[in-house]
Structure 1
Amino acid sequence: MEEAVMLLSESLQRQVNMLSITERNQIEEIRIRIHRPLEVVINGKPYYPDIQTVVQYEEVNRFLNKVSKYSLYTLEEELRRGFITIKGGHRVGIAGKVITEGGVVKAVRDVTSFNIRIAREKIGVASRLIPYLYDGRWKNTLLIGPPKSGKTTILRDLARLISTGDDRNRIKALNVGIVDERSEIAGCVNGVPQHTFGIRLDVLDGCPKAEGMMMMIRSMSPQVLIVDEIGRHEDVEAILDAMHTGIHIIVTAHGFDINDVKSRPNFEALFSNGVFDRYIELSARNGAGTIETVRNKNEQVCKRVLEVTT
């Protein structure tokens, strides 16, 4: 988190440091808004270290300059997408005046708000899923959960585990391909992953999922394909194509449970074709990463249901 805090003005840094060490270690987001007090989100709840002091324009401008290393031109594409990934894998979301051209976002000007989402690795959090997801091969898996339920954290650790291997469980390291459209799984900066993975890993950063899956298959021959937050018809078509090549697929989707996902027309083909061997339903009931249910290919609840906290 220190990489993100160091980009703040001295005044805002002092406010963050007003929190206890325990509170700082649990920060999920730092929100900066012009003429509003600094907001820190801890365990889903907003806190205002100094509610009487508001963020000044100069502080916002200085923060943007630091993030861009005083060259906004080099971040034109990231600004157009609405977020910037910084050292440490933290993602900085932005809001402000949007410039469109032909109905398509061309740029974001006059940035007035930032949302720094703190990326934290939870190495080993996916290990308890090995008995459910591996039996000599990695099973095609769909992780389902609402926002902030730990989907990406578990997916990231699965990518680490698969690309590293696990001698204790006699699991060999495999070539893993990550299509990271929002730079959240690997947290790449200048194409280099900021999180911990094994040596057998390739990342397509900032690439649309459907196109990226096909590019990865054609160019890098992954044995396991990792993708976050599928949902479009094009994503489903790409997954079906990947399945026919023999590649193992582990993906996530927004939803409260399997029935929520099945109700969406775009997902119908995945269920009718029996793409997934395992469905993992997540929630934040006992903290992000709570595993509510593990289901098999027939959508039946497996004998063991476990809960882990990321």
Structure 2
Amino acid sequence: MTTLAAAPARQGQDVQRITDDVGTLLKFLPGDVEQLLRPIMDTVDEIKLRYGRPLMVLMGDRWEVFDEITVDNDHLLDINAKVMNWRDDGRKGVEGTCHRLYRTKNADGTIEGVTVRVGRFMRGVAWPLKPYLDEDPSMLIMGTPGSGKSTLERDIARMVAEKIRAFCVIVDTSAELSGDGRRAHPGIGYADRVQVAMKAQQADVIWEAVRSLNPRVLVVDEIGYADDARVIKQASKLGVKTVATAHGNKFQDLVENEALSPVYDPPIFRWLVIVAARGVYHLYDLPQAMNQYRQGQVPEYRDLRV
């Protein structure tokens, strides 16, 4: 990859790591798990409960194994009873926070495990992108699961909404951007939001938001289907800009994803951001990068860091 010069650091824009109310999340956990983890929740990023296996907790970049608790059926049924209304994709958000639970099942429908993600709002992680968003807020963000692309997108929504208020509209399918329930997460600032009940309905809800909520900028989490791409392209013809995320960790992943071809051939996004690592962004001028790619050249990017 050809790299352009890194952007100069900006002063006075420290990243603030704000953890959502963990007490609300702990209420969903079995008593012994809650008692064990409560004192260390400030350092916990993810919790894995898998039937017949010891409790595992992600702390930073290391999985810690707590052999004193072996997950049994009672643990899983306890969580299931407290949640009750799981989404069709097996997820459940905690109202007013970005905490999230995910339930997995065996082939026979029996609950096999539960994963708990601790929601944290990182204010300021989008700051290196501000000059580019000010120029044109249409941006596609790509990264691997857990890379921080949704955290980045949430902060982008906040920054965009500081300028245009409720003309920035979040279409939230996973409840990861704006939280679950009736009360939106404060991390989205002045942005409006609409929730999507089922992943299969995302394209329809995007279009309904365009028709009914008067957005200038849409913020959409996890586009991956052709219908999503087509409706975003249609919105662009009406002058609506979009910030969206997709899976992938290199430029080639975008151009090899045929489902997303409506948004990159030709490009409707001005910018492509690859989240190379937490706080490390490779920024492409997408129209320019596509021209370079078609000419057999290696697309250039600018290296930006928080």
TM-score, length-normalised on structure 1?
A: 0.80
CA shift at 1:37, angstroms? 1.3
User: Partners in 2 of 1:259 and 1:113 — Cα distance?
Assistant: 34
How many matched pairs?
273
Q: Does 2:36 align with 1:15?
A: yes
User: In the TM superposition, what are the counterparts of 1:81-100 in structure 2 within 5 Å?
Assistant: 81-87=89-95, 88-97=97-106
Paired residue secondary structure (2:104):
strand
Runs of 4 or more, structure 1, over 6 Å off, are none
Q: 1:56 to 1:267 in 2, by over 3 A?
A: closer
Residue equivalent to 1:199: 190
| Amino acid in structure 2 at the alignment position of 1:85 | G
User: Percent sequence identity over matched residues?
Assistant: 25
Contact 1:210–1:238 (Cα < 8 Å) also in 2: yes
Structure 1 Cα separation of the partners of residues 156 and 238 of structure 2: 21
Helix, strand or coil at the partner of 1:48: strand
> Which one scores higher on RCO, CA 8 angstroms, separation ≥ 6?
2
Distance 2:229 2:78 in 1: 42
Aligned partners of 2:187, 2:260: CA distance in 1, in Å? 31
**Separation in 2, partners of 1:238, 1:259:** 23
- Please list, as runs of the form range in 1=range in 2, the aligned pairs for 1:17-32 lying within 5 A after superposition: 17=38, 19=40, 24-32=41-49
2:143 is matched with which residue? 145
Alignment pair present for 1:154 and 2:175:
no
Deviations 1:231-272 (A, max 9, x none): 211111111101101001111111111222111222233222
Query: Which one of 255, 258, 280 corresponds to residue 290 of structure 1?
Result: 280
Distance 1:157 1:18, change over 3 A: closer
AA of the residue aligned to 1:217: V
In structure 2, give the amino acid aligned to 1:141.
M
Instruction: State the Cα distance separating 1:91 from its structure 2 match.
Output: 1.2
- 1:42 Cα offset (Å): 2.0
Matching residue of 1:53: 69
Which one-letter code corresponds to 2:72 in the other structure? Q
Root mean square deviation of aligned Cα: 2.2
The answer on 1:183 being equivalent to 2:175 is yes
Q: Which residue of 2 aligns with 1:106?
A: none
Residue 188 of structure 1 contacts residue 205 of structure 1 at CA under 8 Å; is this kept in 2? Answer: no
Q: Which runs of 5+ in 2 are unaligned?
A: 1-21, 290-298
Q: Distance in 2 between matches of 1:297 and 1:43?
A: 36
Instruction: Give the secondary-structure state (helix, strand or coil) at the position aligned to 1:122.
Output: strand
Kept after mapping to 2: 8 A contact 1:28/1:44: no
Within 1, Cα distance between the matches of 2:166 and 2:28?
37
Preserved contact between residue 149 and residue 290 of structure 1 (Cα < 8 Å): no
